Amino acid sequence: MAKANAETRQFEAEVQQILQLMIHSLYSNREIFLRELISNASDACDRLHFATLKDETLLQGEGDLAIRISADKEAGTVTVSDNGIGMSYQEVIDNLGTIASSGTKRFLESLSGDERKDADLIGQFGVGFYSSFIVAEQVTVETRRADEDKGVRWQSDGSGEFTIEEIERSERGTTITLKLRDDAEEFQAPERLRHIIRRYSDHIGRPILMPSDEEGQDWEKVNEAAALWTRSKEELEDKDYEGFYQHLTHDPEEPLDWTHNHVEGRQSYSLLMYIPRRAPFDLWDRERRRGIRLYVRRVFIMDEAEQLMPGWLRFVRGVVDSADLPLNVSREILQDNRLVRSIRAGAVKKVLGLLEDMARNRPDDYAHFWEQFGKVLKEGPAEDPDNTDRIAKLLRFSSTREPDGETVSLQDYVDRMKPDQKAIYYVTADNHETALNSPHLEAFRKQNVEVLLLSDRVDEWLVANLTEFDGKPLRSVTHGELEADEVGDSKDDEAKDERHKPLLDKLKGQLEDQVSDVRVSRRLVDSPACLVAEQGGLSLNLQRLLKEAGQTVPELRPILEVNPDHPLVRQLSELEDEARLGDWSQLLFDQALLAEGGQLADPAGFVRRLNAMLTGQSRQSEQA
């Protein structure tokens, strides 16, 4: 594959796009280029270290892995060098000419064209190596892979193409030389470089060295060079944790919170986990691998070890360093490993503790967290029955008492339940407005009984798995028959049903293909009718969601409940004309369906019947 002569190649079109965007949007924060290069160099050392576990000869006698940074005033350059794994010819092409990561591809797809917004977004991906071009008019990379004889030189001015050629290079690893732009001269000053290194890269586990004298013969260590998570909490400051978070995630924002623990016992491991401030835009992408970075006794093993964090905490970022896992652990082994399960259980408990603490002591931060990640947390009870009670306490809902925003906890709800109230009531709907205006709530409103308003897709899944809280059952207001005392109804209901039997029979006759039953409602005050699902059956909302998702749903006919005190229903009960009775019954059913967010089977028919009714005629009398 290697070529003897230099060849010129084009950047992938997307790289050019990224370069443009970056040079313009990151101008105010140019110094991050150094952080990105150090981060790559440190990863390269980690990867070499990992590779030498299998093949010691890769070290070739040079075992002290380090990152060297120096400036040359005369040449106007800054050089970042590492003796890590290095790159082969093909790897240079793949890594430094294209956008290899699918995440970055998706980022490009999501560009809005609004520079401000896009600049915000770009930070989520880590602009990596290409950030060199913020300060450099020319970048030269010389590298040799630890297991190859020949080296490679890559060079570009960032304007559209690069050259690549084979070279002789005795040292293993990578040297990146930036020819600084005129307006970036400040980065030649060693003090400036030192300052940036301490600021952004102090937590890097490898030594970062700079020349200690003018001649550049002796090198001295500039950073702390102990992996941050191995250090004790007492000696670390917020800015250390924040710097490490940046290294780990490339998130331009500071984390919302973190938890750092050293666990000793049957197993020993260190955990450092962060809650980001903002959800990544691909949080809902099921293909996207998540999880945290795994180290074994300080040796980097893998990124995004999804086995270490359950799906319902997929927004958590961080590091686990285990003292007990074998160094040759693979993703497959992680799948089903007792140690991993117990680390994950420990990690989950720490995150839950962190969130509980935030909810209690920093309600504003928690509200922010909930807004960003609440929907993900709602997957918890289904995925993790063991932790359901703790997760349930962290949930927040909108309710008929507090309809603006999701602010009500189940504990708040239970604390203000009426003394004789038996259940925690909720309504699910396709959207908040539909839930809030649902006719099913009328009797509850009248009796001042609070009802939770659920309108996220995941809510149906949540309530299927969260059936009680604090000993109180969760009960849907659109399911089953309400008992008289649930809504403070009088006791003469039986008689009421009897009295209205002729009406109910009429409606049943007209709508027999569409409903499974018709009965007098205890839910309604102002509306003439509503639809109800069988107790324990699928809600109409869930049936719709499943159909949208392409699943086959058994044809479940709802129950029509009517409000016999409503003028419309009263008039209907007096109708004799079969055709008008048919139209009115259908209208009653259709409007009940609309009110709870359903779709009409025959919208044109609905409009025609409605118009006929509004003009005081029925189809029959028009024809006559």
Ligand X SMILES: Nc1ncnc2c1ncn2[C@@H]1O[C@H](COP(=O)(O)OP(=O)(O)OP(=O)(O)O)[C@@H](O)[C@H]1O
Which residue ranges make up the site for ligand X (CB under 6 A)? 36, 40-41, 44, 82, 84-87, 95, 125-126, 128-130, 174, 250
Backbone angles phi, psi at 41, to 5 degrees: -65, -40
Residue 126 CB, nearest approach to ligand X (Å) = 3
Q: Are 579 and 573 in contact (CB under 8 A)?
A: no
Q: How far is the CB of 19 from ligand X (least distance, A)?
A: 11
- CA gap 281, 309 in Å, rounded: 19
Residue 142 Cβ, how far from ligand X at the closest point, in Å?
A: 11
Q: Which residue has the tokens 């670390």?
A: 236
How far apart are CB 37 and ligand X at their closest, in Å?
7
The CB-of-175 to ligand X minimum distance in angstroms stands at 9
11 CB neighbour count, 10 Å cutoff: 21
Least distance in angstroms from the C-beta of 81 to ligand X: 9
Distance CA 355, CA 377 (A): 11
Give the nearest distance from C-beta 44 to ligand X in angstroms.
3
Cβ–Cβ < 8 Å for 18, 171: no
Q: Give the C-alpha distances (Å, rounded to integers) separating 275 from 358, 432, 542, 596.
A: 11, 27, 31, 37
Q: Of the two residues 162 and 606, which places its CB atom closer to ligand X in the complex? A: 162
Nearer CB in complex with ligand X: 39/543: 39
The neighbouring-strand residues paired with 247 are none
Tokens of 602: 């025959």
Instruction: Rank residues 177 and 543 by Cβ distance to ligand X and give the closer one.
Output: 177
Least distance between ligand X and beta carbon 92 (Å) = 8
Cα–Cα distance measured from residue 72 to residue 66, given in angstroms and rounded to the nearest whole number: 20
Residue (40 or 387) nearer to ligand X, CB: 40
Q: Tokens 């770009």, residue?
A: 122
Nearer to ligand X, 250 or 314 (CB): 250
Q: Which is nearer to ligand X, 129 or 219 (CB)?
A: 129
Determine the Cα–Cα distance for residues 205 and 222; give it in Å rounded to an integer. 12
CA dihedral 248, 250, 253, 259 (to 10 degrees): -10
- In this complex, which beta carbon is closest to ligand X, that of residue 146 or of residue 316? 146
Which single residue brings its beta carbon nearest to ligand X?
A: 128
Closer residue to ligand X in complex, CB, 47/194: 47
Alpha-carbon 181 to chain mean position = 39
Please give the full DSSP string across 454-503, using - where no structure is assigned: E-SHHHHHHHHH--EETTEEEEETTBSPPPGGGGT--STHHHHHHHTHHH
